[in-house]
Amino acid sequence: MSGGISLGPFAFVSEHSSEAVIAHEVDGHTVDSKIFGPLYLIIIGLPSILWAWLSSNDVCYYSFYTEKLANKHAGLEVDKYCRLYFKA
């Protein structure tokens, strides 16, 4: 696993994760958790997990609403190759 997963205030990332992926999980999804509270898993968590499991390589993973929102909170953008980077 090169990404991560966030469960409310807890973020789990691979030791191979980039700083941007860590920010996506820690500064992105954990903010989502604070905003949505107990509804986080229904609104963000489960859809995000299903998207990760069901999405194909033809579509950028970060194009899904849950991932876009986390990127916004973390100050991240996605390039044309679907790679995360920090906004300048």
pLDDT tens for 6-34 read: 887 889 999 999 999 999 999 999 999 99
DSSP code for 39: G
How far is the C-alpha of 26 from the C-alpha of 66, rounded, in Å? Answer: 14
Residue 24: domain span: 4-86
- Whether 76 and 24 have beta carbons less than 8 Å apart is answered as yes
The number of domains in the chain is: 1
Instruction: State both tokens at 72.
Output: 């916004």
- Please indicate, yes or no, whether the overall pTM of this predicted structure exceeds 0.85: yes
Tell me the backbone φ, ψ of residue 32, rounded to 5 degrees. Answer: -55, -45
Tell me the backbone φ, ψ of residue 72, rounded to 5 degrees. Answer: -60, -45
Q: Is the pLDDT of residue 2 over 70?
A: no
DSSP code for 75: T
pLDDT tens for 34-73 read: 999 999 999 999 999 999 999 888 999 999 999 999 999 9
